[in-house]
Amino acid sequence: MGCERKPLGIALALALLLGLAHGDVVQFIFGDSLSDVGNNNYLTKSLARAALPWYGIDFGSGMPNGRFCNGRTVADIIGDKMGLPRPPAFLDPSVDETVIAKSGLNYASGGGGILNETSSLFIQRFSLYKQIELFQGTQAFMREKIGRAAADKLFGEAYYVVAMGANDFINNYLLPVYSDSWTYNGETFVKYMVTTLEAQLRLLHGLGARRVTFFGLGPMGCIPLQRLLQRSSTACQESTNKLALSFNKQAGAVIKQLAASLPNATFQFGDVYDYFQDIIDRPYVHGFNNSHAPCCTLGKVRPTLTCTPLSTLCKDRSKYVFWDEYHPTDRANELIALETLKRLNITVVANTTST
C-alpha cells in the first residue's frame, strides 16, 4: 500500500511546488473576533461564538459563518483588495495541504488576546501565543507534506496579519474579576502588553515571518457596550480610549524598532485610530446616520452581548457604524480597510466588493 500511495504524494508535492513557483502568495492571520472567520464556532464550549443569525446576513448565503459581523472583516477586505485569497479558519475540517498552499490559514479567535489570561471567562478561545503554537504545527505539517524547501518558500513569502489587543482591555484589565485589573495600573498594564507583543512578534520572525502587519487599536471606549457601561448612549469612555492610544503609541514604536533591527523584516503598523474616531464623531460625513448604537439589538434590552435570532435589526445596515455591542458593520470595516491600505501605501489590485 505504501508503494502505491507514494506516486500520489509526489504528484501532489510537484503540483504544489509548481503553484508556489508561479507566485502563489498567501496570508496567515492572527487575531480576535474582529478577524475570526469561524474558529470559535468549532470550539463548542466557547461563550464567544458567531453561530446564530443574524451574523453573516450580508455575506454569501446570509447564514452565520463565524464572522462577528453582518458581512466582511477588515482583514477580508484588505486581502481582497490586494488580490490575495481569503484564508479559511484553522479549525475548518476541509483544510488540507492543498488549501493551505493556495490560501493560507486564519487562526483568529473571538476573545483572543495578547495575554494568555485574557477572556478566560469565555472558557475556550485561542490567545496569540496559542495561535502561534498552532502555526508552528502548520509549518511542521506542510514540511512533511510538501518538503522543507517548498514549505519554507510558502511561509517566507507569505503576508502575516496580527490584529489583537482590544480584549486585553475590555475582557481583562477593565473587568475587576480579572487579577490583572488590580495587579497593574494603566501604564504598567500597557507596558506588560507591549513587552509580551514584542516577544510574540520576534517569535513569528524566528519562524520565518518576514512581511508582518500589526493592526493598532481603534477607539475602544466608543463601542456601544463601553458607552452603556458609563450609563450614556452617546458619550465615549475617554479613559478607555486613552489606554488604546497609549498602546498604539508604544506598539508602533516597538514595531518600528523591530523592522529596523530584525533581518529581512518588513514589519508595518496599521494605525487608523483617528480616522475611525472621525467616523464616530462625524458619521454623516462618512455616509452613516448612527455611530453610537448597535444595529442588532433585542429591543430596549441592553446590553445584549451577542446578536441572536430574537434580535431586531436596524432598517439600513449600511447606515450604522456598529453591528453589535462590540463589532463594526461591513460598511464601517470597508472604510477602515481602505484607509489602512492608503496609509500603508499598499496598491489596490482588485476592486471587488463581493462578500
Residue 238 lies in a domain: yes
Residue 260 lies in a domain: yes
Q: What is the pLDDT of residues 283-322, one digit of tens each?
A: 999 999 999 999 999 877 777 778 999 999 999 999 999 9
Q: What is the mean pLDDT of the chain?
A: 92
Residue 6 lies in a domain: no
Choose between 17 and 51: higher pLDDT: 51
Tell me how many domains the chain contains: 1
Q: What is the pLDDT of residues 315-344, one digit of tens each?
A: 999 999 999 999 999 999 999 999 999 999
Q: What is the pLDDT of residues 54-103, one digit of tens each?
A: 999 999 999 999 999 999 999 999 999 999 999 999 999 999 999 999 99
Predicted confidence at residue 353, as pLDDT, reads: 57
Q: What is the pLDDT of residues 149-179, one digit of tens each?
A: 999 999 999 999 999 999 999 999 999 999 9
Sign of the four-CA dihedral 14, 19, 21, 27: negative
| Interacting residues of 345 by C-beta distance below 8 A, sequence separation 6+ | none
Residue 354 lies in a domain: no
Q: Is the pLDDT of residue 23 over 50?
A: yes
Q: Is the pLDDT of residue 234 over 80?
A: no
Residue 350 lies in a domain: no
Q: Is the pLDDT of residue 3 over 90?
A: no
Q: Is the pLDDT of residue 12 over 80?
A: no
In this structure, are strands 27-31 and 312-313 parallel, antiparallel, or unpaired?
unpaired
| Interacting residues of 195 by C-beta distance below 8 A, sequence separation 6+ | none
List strand residue ranges (DSSP E) for the chain, in order: 27-31, 104-106, 159-163, 211-215, 266-270, 290-294, 296-297, 312-313, 320-322
Q: What is the pLDDT of residues 265-278, one digit of tens each?
A: 999 999 999 999 99
Q: What is the pLDDT of residues 44-59, one digit of tens each?
A: 999 999 999 999 999 9
Domain interval for residue 320: 27-344
Q: Is the pLDDT of residue 246 over 90?
A: yes
C-alpha cell at 34: 474582529
Predicted confidence at residue 354, as pLDDT, reads: 62
Here the CATH number for the domain that contains residue 261 is 3.40.50.1110
Global pTM reads: 0.93
Residue 351 lies in a domain: no
How far, in Å, CA of 135 to CA of 151, rounded?
13
pLDDT over 90, % of the chain: 86
Among 337, 235, 229, 318, CA closest to 276:
337
At position 270, the amino acid (one-letter code) is G
Residue 4 lies in a domain: no
Residue 129 lies in a domain: yes
Write out the catalytic residue numbers: 33, 324, 327
Question: Distance between alpha carbon 244 and the CA centroid of its chain, in Å?
Answer: 16
